Amino acid sequence: MPATVVVGTQWGDEGKGKIVDLLAADADLVVRYHGGNNAGHTLVVGGEKTILNLVPAGVLHPGKVCVLGPGMVIDPEVLVREIDALKARGYLGDDRWLRVSEQAHVILPYHRALDRARERLREAGAIGTTGRGIGPAYEDKMARTGVRMGDLFDLAELRETLTRSLREKNELFPFLGERPVTVDEILATIDGYRARLAPYVTDTGAEVRAAITAGKRVLLEGAQGMLLDVDHGTYPFVTSSNCVAGAAAAGAGIPPKALTRVVGITKAYTTRVGGGPFPTELTDALGERLRADGDEYGATTGRPRRCGWFDAVVVRQAIALSGVDGLAVTKLDVLTGMDPIRLCVAYEVGGRRLELPPATQRGWHDATPIYEECPGWTEPLGRLRSLDELPGKARRYLDALTAAVGAPLVLLSIGAGREQTIAVGPTLA
């Protein structure tokens, strides 16, 4: 049976949590395949808000197996808190509904300390990381000095690994304004959650592959957005993992041929958190209005998001890199009352028209958006339940948006609630 990948096509915060929650109703397993608790997925069901940082967004559906894949980096303390919060509300009552990869790397206190210290040293060039230790944990993974979830249960091997890793880090910490850390401190921290996590830690790749062979439907949940991909994003203002659909196979531990459909998520406008280029950013009252009307504050950090007009250039690139089959457009309702609505269809860089993003920071810095304008609408959208009910001007904007990026519309979100969604085309293959 198919595995469907959900990817963000902007700089994150596109509404992936809501869309994964919707698609999870027809899936058997929901697998998070990269990132860590730097992502925050917000779900609103029955008027109740749930924010998830690690557990996949299928958790609100009974009987769905939620998997934290080997491509993730996991802060065990955060995971235990999230499990406790979900159980307190009646979710994850049975341990079999959550599976955690024994191959996923562990975020430890010294990773968070490194993250914060490095961001301080960057000063004006700060990337805007969440300070959650994501980058340093991935760095240890690539340096082959990391701790994996399965290592937590082999104390002799764990002590040896920590001793090697801390030898280098404790040389750095005094220069970074952080105090050295002892192996015993880390082990004491781990003792607090080892037993709590033991029922969940397993070879998730084998379980997901077996599920696919058995004909079950698998939904692969991405975090962040394509323009934050470490290889294909606005480097160095990116995350520390691959956010494109091609990373889902490795990050979940399944073969590439199992990936049969890709759903891309985009807002009807554009937002970004932290530093880095943003050609369509609005720094005036209109940008403030988008932030206020769209409640554009980070689910994980609470930081205000930068807001701007829809950028077809970046979404077009994301669609091409991930092979997006259909587009879910979110937050169209936020644009109600704005007239005209502008849509960036290309950049001008050095007198040349670019249909795809520049490759360098200099190119991004020099990029001037080329806009098309669409008339706005005033009718509220939140109670609509079919595409035919949309005001003509809202439909015209959607048509211009999908034509500019070259992908068909499959879902339209017109509010935060699960029910405020219009299905247009097939999602799960």
Q: Which amino acid is at 399?
A: D
Query: Which of 309, 300, 380 lies closest to 53 in space, CA to CA?
Result: 300
Report if residue 213 sits inside a domain: yes
Confidence band for 42, pLDDT divided at 50, 70 and 90: confident
Residue 115 bears catalytic tag: no
388 phi and psi angles, rounded to 5 deg: -65, -25
* Tens digit of each residue's pLDDT (9 = 90 or more) over 359-376: 899 999 999 999 999 999
Average pLDDT, the chain: 92
- Considering the domain architecture, whether residues 96 and 219 belong to the same structural domain is answered as yes
- Considering the domain architecture, whether residues 211 and 250 belong to the same structural domain is answered as yes
- Alpha helices by DSSP H, 126-193: 134-143, 155-176, 183-191
Report if residue 30 sits inside a domain: yes
Half-sphere exposure of 7 (CA within 13 A, CB side): 32
The total number of structural domains in the chain stands at 3
Report if residue 410 sits inside a domain: yes
Report if residue 345 sits inside a domain: yes
Residue ending a domain, among 229, 247, 262, is 262
- Considering the domain architecture, whether residues 288 and 407 belong to the same structural domain is answered as yes
Residue ending a domain, among 174, 195, 216, is 195
Percentage above 90 pLDDT, the chain: 78
Q: Give the pair of three-digit tokens for residue 206.
A: 């084998």
pLDDT at 124: 57
CATH label of the domain that carries residue 166: 1.10.300.10
Distance CA 313, CA 318 (A): 9
Half-sphere exposure of 175 (CA within 13 A, CB side): 6
**pLDDT at residue 88 above 50?**
yes
DSSP-derived letter for residue 417 is B
Query: Which of 429, 426, 392 lies closest to 409 in space, CA to CA?
Result: 426
- Considering the domain architecture, whether residues 179 and 211 belong to the same structural domain is answered as no
* Residues whose CB falls within 8 Å of the CB of residue 145, separated by 6 or more in sequence, listed in order: 161, 164, 165, 168
Q: By residue range, what is the domain housing residue 50? A: 3-101+201-262
Q: Which residue among the candidates 28, 34, 41, 325 is catalytic per the annotation?
A: 41
- Considering the domain architecture, whether residues 277 and 396 belong to the same structural domain is answered as yes
CATH label of the domain that carries residue 411: 3.90.170.10
Helix (H) or strand (E) holding 21: helix 16-24
- Alpha helices by DSSP H, 54-154: 76-88, 109-122, 134-143
**pLDDT at residue 180 above 70?**
yes
- Considering the domain architecture, whether residues 163 and 236 belong to the same structural domain is answered as no
Which 3 state secondary structure label does DSSP give 347? strand
- Considering the domain architecture, whether residues 251 and 275 belong to the same structural domain is answered as no
Q: Which residue among the candidates 13, 75, 151, 333 is catalytic per the annotation?
A: 13
- Considering the domain architecture, whether residues 165 and 214 belong to the same structural domain is answered as no
- Considering the domain architecture, whether residues 90 and 164 belong to the same structural domain is answered as no
Residue ending a domain, among 195, 220, 241, is 195
* Tens digit of each residue's pLDDT (9 = 90 or more) over 401-423: 999 999 999 999 999 888 899 98
- Considering the domain architecture, whether residues 242 and 389 belong to the same structural domain is answered as no
Report if residue 428 sits inside a domain: no
Q: Which residues lie across from 220 on neighbouring strands? A: 5, 31
Half-sphere exposure of 349 (CA within 13 A, CB side): 18
Residue 41 bears catalytic tag: yes
Report if residue 429 sits inside a domain: no
* Tens digit of each residue's pLDDT (9 = 90 or more) over 205-231: 999 999 999 999 999 999 889 999 999
Confidence band for 426, pLDDT divided at 50, 70 and 90: low
- Residues 54-64 have a mean pLDDT of 92
pLDDT at 126: 57
Confidence band for 427, pLDDT divided at 50, 70 and 90: low
Mode of pairing for the β-strands spanning 48-52 and 41-45:
antiparallel
**Exposed e or buried b per residue across 73-96, where buried means at least 16 C-beta atoms within 10 angstroms of its C-beta:** bbbbbbbeebbeebeeeebbeeee
- Considering the domain architecture, whether residues 279 and 414 belong to the same structural domain is answered as yes
Report if residue 373 sits inside a domain: yes
**pLDDT at residue 34 above 50?**
yes
- Considering the domain architecture, whether residues 78 and 149 belong to the same structural domain is answered as no
* Tens digit of each residue's pLDDT (9 = 90 or more) over 323-339: 999 999 999 999 999 99
CATH label of the domain that carries residue 70: 3.40.440.10
Helix (H) or strand (E) holding 348: strand 341-349
Confidence band for 429, pLDDT divided at 50, 70 and 90: very low
Q: What's the sign of the alpha-carbon dihedral 290, 16, 356, 340?
A: negative
Report if residue 166 sits inside a domain: yes
* Tens digit of each residue's pLDDT (9 = 90 or more) over 287-309: 999 999 999 987 666 789 999 99
**pLDDT at residue 148 above 70?**
yes
Q: Give the pair of three-digit tokens for residue 112.
A: 């968070």
Comparing 113-117, 122-126, 139-143, 158-162, which segment has the lowest mean pLDDT?
Answer: 122-126
Mode of pairing for the β-strands spanning 41-45 and 73-74:
unpaired
